[in-house]
């Protein structure tokens, strides 16, 4: 019996759980890893200038402390899949929660700069694990009829995590009298900002004890009865459990374990489709989006914005990020991936070009002239909005769909690694580039946003409405 026939027999394709609220809770609990992903990625924004001042370091050294977490991210993402296959998805989440907690405590109580950098790497490893395990677990547990909507919880949780971290930073800065090094609870404000992540990290760990293991993993280790119980719990008691278990077993046996060798070929080492995936990942980062989340408060302060106001603007940017993400989730299946990417690229070019223009003016009394200051602020929000409604979501959709089945896992791993490396390059280079010429730095980001348009038009094919088996 084919897997399609089995799905029809088992009723899995149309399964509607009796307790949908419980299934939503399971997906939301797993997506807490995404929340921590977003929170940890962005919380450092509130500590950048304080770290520079406390340890008396230059822009290059500061950038390495900020960006070094991305090394941990790459390692965590690369190893999470194997760890999850050996000890289970839930145990992997619990390890991630412990690492998040330890990283938060260590980052809040560093005794030297290298110590802070080490805890940043630990936190990065947890981010990398969470970025892989959350979506995989939700896809394996969610009923097929709800998989798309429940799968979007991860991206939604990431952008909410970014926004909450900026809001918390703003509140703590106000409590410290507008001084990142002001005293709060016996610590400097920036230390408290990094330490507050203990709260969601512990919550993530506790929630992991309240949700079931993936039926797919349980079947892989021979625990069929427990898998049947969970399938009943998440897909309803009208599903033919024997057929569902057989379907999952058949799918696992027929899967091709793609390897790095499968990606080789063509004129330039990798197959052309792999290069397209790498290109999407690199363009997503080279437009400078993470500057908006890692350095925005520093950026605004460098052009004369009051520290408290700069933190507030970072928060409003995060709200715009959420709005854009919701727009993308609504339209990605209606308009298509390619049109959204092109619309986003055009909008990003406009926003980035206006920022480059505004930053080209000399400061007057330590501030940008009023017209240029407002232009830069509005343009920054325009840039984030168009990124969020397009490349922020569309690239991950493309990467999940565009590769042929036989190489999908390996190709996705290479593309994701390229994304972390590109993220590191932008994050590590921004402080030094900004010291050199802030306007020229934004011109560089504008050029990459502009180049993404012909790249999409020439190389990227629409995947909307196509079956995964049709990709190639």
Q: Residue 132 above 50 pLDDT?
A: yes
The confidence score (pLDDT) of residue 24 equals 87
CB atoms within 10 A of CB 382: 18
How far, in Å, CA of 319 to CA of 293, rounded? Answer: 12
Q: For residue 78, what are the contacts with CB-CB under 8 A and spacing of at least 6?
A: 128, 413, 417
pLDDT in tens, 71-121: 888 888 878 877 888 888 899 999 999 999 999 999 999 988 999 999 999
How far, in Å, CA of 432 to CA of 438, rounded? Answer: 9
Averaged pLDDT for residues 285-314: 85
For 46, 183, 395, 413, the CA distances from 260, given in Å and listed in that order, are: 39, 51, 21, 9
The confidence score (pLDDT) of residue 16 equals 54
pLDDT in tens, 433-461: 988 999 999 999 999 999 999 999 999 88
Q: List residues bridging with 184 in a β-sheet.
A: 187
Averaged pLDDT for residues 404-431: 82
Nearest to 289 by CA among 438, 439, 120, 426: 426
For 124, 354, 357, the CA distances from 440, given in Å and listed in that order, are: 30, 12, 9
Confidence of residue 409 (pLDDT cuts 50, 70, 90): low
How far, in Å, CA of 451 to CA of 8, rounded? Answer: 45
Q: Highest-confidence range of 106-110, 211-215, 226-230, by mean pLDDT? A: 106-110
Measured on CA atoms in the order 306, 310, 312, 313, is the torsion positive or negative? positive
Give the three-state DSSP class for 267.
Answer: strand
Confidence of residue 191 (pLDDT cuts 50, 70, 90): very high
195 vs 249 pLDDT, higher one = 195
What phi and psi values does residue 222 have, to the nearest 5 degrees?
Answer: 85, 10
Average pLDDT of every residue of the chain = 84
3-class SS string, 66-129: HHCHHHHHHHHHHHHHHHHHHHCHHHHHHHHHHHHHHHHHHHHCCCCHHHHHHHHHHHHHHHHH
Lowest mean pLDDT among 13-27, 96-110, 153-167: 13-27
Q: Residue 470 above 60 pLDDT?
A: no
How far, in Å, CA of 346 to CA of 340, rounded? Answer: 10
Calculate what percentage of the chain has a pLDDT beyond 90: 33
The confidence score (pLDDT) of residue 471 equals 57
Confidence of residue 228 (pLDDT cuts 50, 70, 90): confident
The confidence score (pLDDT) of residue 221 equals 83
Q: Residue 26 above 50 pLDDT?
A: yes
Averaged pLDDT for residues 40-61: 87
The confidence score (pLDDT) of residue 267 equals 62
Measured on CA atoms in the order 270, 421, 317, 166, is the torsion positive or negative? positive
Give the three-state DSSP class for 214.
Answer: coil
Q: Which residues of 345-366 are buried (b: 16+ CB within 10 A; e: fewer)?
A: bbbbbbbbbbbbbbbebeeeee
The confidence score (pLDDT) of residue 255 equals 63
Q: Highest-confidence range of 123-132, 216-225, 310-319, 353-362, by mean pLDDT? A: 353-362
């Amino acid at each position: 019996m084919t897997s399609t026939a089995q799905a029809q027999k088992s009723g899995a394709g149309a399964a509607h759980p009796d307790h949908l609220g419980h299934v939503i809770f399971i997906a939301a609990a797993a997506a807490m890893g995404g929340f921590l992903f977003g929170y940890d990625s962005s919380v450092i924004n509130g500590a950048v200038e304080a770290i520079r001042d406390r340890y008396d370091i230059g822009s290059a050294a500061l950038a390495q402390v900020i960006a070094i977490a991305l090394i941990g991210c790459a390692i965590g993402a690369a190893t999470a899949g194997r760890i999850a296959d050996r000890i289970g998805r839930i145990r992997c989440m619990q390890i991630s929660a412990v690492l998040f907690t330890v990283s938060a405590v260590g980052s809040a109580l560093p005794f030297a700069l290298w110590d802070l950098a080490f805890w940043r790497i630990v936190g990065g490893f947890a981010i990398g694990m969470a970025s892989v395990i959350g979506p995989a677990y939700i896809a394996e547990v969610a009923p097929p009829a709800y998989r798309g909507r429940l799968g979007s919880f991860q991206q939604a949780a990431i952008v909410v995590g970014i926004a909450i971290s900026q809001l918390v930073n703003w509140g703590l800065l106000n409590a410290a009298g507008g001084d990142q090094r002001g005293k709060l609870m016996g610590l400097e404000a920036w230390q408290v900002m990094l330490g507050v992540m203990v709260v969601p990290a512990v919550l993530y760990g506790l929630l992991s004890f309240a949700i079931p293991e993936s039926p797919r993993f349980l079947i892989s280790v021979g625990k069929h009865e427990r898998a049947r119980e969970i399938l009943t719990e998440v897909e309803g008691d009208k599903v033919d459990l024997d057929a569902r278990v057989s379907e999952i077993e058949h799918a696992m046996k027929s899967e091709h374990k793609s390897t790095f060798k499968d990606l080789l070929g063509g004129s330039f080492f990798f197959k052309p489709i792999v290069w397209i995936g790498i290109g999407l990942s690199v363009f997503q980062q080279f437009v400078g989006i993470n500057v908006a989340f890692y350095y925005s408060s520093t950026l605004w302060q460098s052009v004369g914005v009051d520290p408290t106001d700069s933190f507030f603007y970072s928060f409003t940017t995060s709200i715009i990020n959420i709005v854009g993400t919701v727009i993308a989730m609504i339209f990605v299946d209606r308009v298509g991936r390619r049109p959204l990417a092109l619309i986003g690229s055009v909008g990003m070019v406009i926003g980035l070009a206006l920022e480059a223009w505004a930053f080209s003016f000399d400061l007057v009394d330590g501030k940008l002239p009023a017209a240029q200051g407002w232009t830069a602020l509005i343009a920054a929000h325009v840039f984030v909005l168009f990124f969020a409604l397009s490349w922020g979501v569309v690239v991950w959709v493309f990467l999940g769909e565009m590769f042929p089945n036989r190489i999908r896992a390996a190709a996705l791993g290479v593309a994701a690694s390229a994304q972390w490396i590109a993220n590191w390059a932008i994050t590590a280079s921004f402080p030094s580039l900004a010291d050199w010429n802030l306007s020229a730095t934004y011109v560089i980001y504008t050029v990459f946003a502009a180049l993404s348009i012909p790249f999409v038009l020439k190389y990227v094919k629409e995947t909307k409405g196509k079956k995964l088996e049709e990709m190639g």
